[in-house]
């Protein structure tokens, strides 16, 4: 895994290159107290054809998330499940599994689901984040719009 400007790149044993990106989402809630630390998380295959599951992808994603929180403990990471190939529910479950493995003792995760619109989204941040209540309130309000 190697660092790039907005995240990480890594190649699997099967020759697939993935980009893990943490994109600045501060523009969505510019008046918040955590404005400089809000990011969208994404993982995308950028080279090669995904033909089978590689268990090291999960380990690498968890490591990337932990490294991000290590570098920026007040990070707030939002994840919206892609609707591509009608797999948003599977992606939501996978993200939840990664959260459980990353450490529920260290992080808080809020989920929002709108099954009619097929929106599955989560926000994760460190426990004892100074803006926990504000994050919850804004995440709920943004989703309810």
| Residue 33 Cα distances to 24, 29, 115, 131, 134, angstroms | 15, 9, 30, 7, 8
Tell me what pLDDT residue 26 has. 85
Q: What's the whole-number mean pLDDT along residues 41-69?
A: 87
Q: Is the model more confident about 123 or about 144? A: 123
Q: CB 36: neighbour CB atoms within 10 A?
A: 11
Is the pLDDT assigned to residue 118 strictly greater than 90? no
User: pLDDT for 119-132, tens place per residue?
Assistant: 778 889 999 899 99
With pLDDT > 70 as the criterion, what percentage of the chain qualifies? 91
To which residue do tokens 């619109």 refer? 117
Predicted confidence (pLDDT) per residue in 58-115, tens digit:
899 989 999 999 999 999 998 877 666 766 677 778 788 888 887 778 899 888 877 7
Quote the pTM value: 0.84
């Amino acid at each position: 895994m190697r660092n790039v400007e907005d995240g990480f790149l890594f190649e699997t044993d099967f020759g697939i290159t993935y980009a893990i990106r943490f994109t600045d989402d501060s523009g969505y809630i510019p008046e918040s107290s955590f404005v400089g630390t809000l990011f969208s998380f994404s993982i995308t295959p950028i080279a090669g054809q995904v033909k089978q599951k590689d268990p090291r992808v999960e380990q690498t994603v968890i490591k990337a998330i932990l490294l991000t929180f290590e570098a920026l403990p007040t990070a707030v990471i939002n994840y919206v499940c892609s609707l591509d190939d009608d797999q948003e529910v599977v992606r939501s479950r996978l993200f939840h599994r990664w959260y459980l493995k990353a450490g529920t003792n260290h992080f808080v995760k809020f989920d929002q689901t709108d099954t009619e619109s097929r929106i599955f989204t989560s926000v994760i941040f460190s426990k004892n984040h100074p803006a926990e209540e504000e994050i919850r309130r804004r995440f709920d309000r943004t989703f309810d719009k």
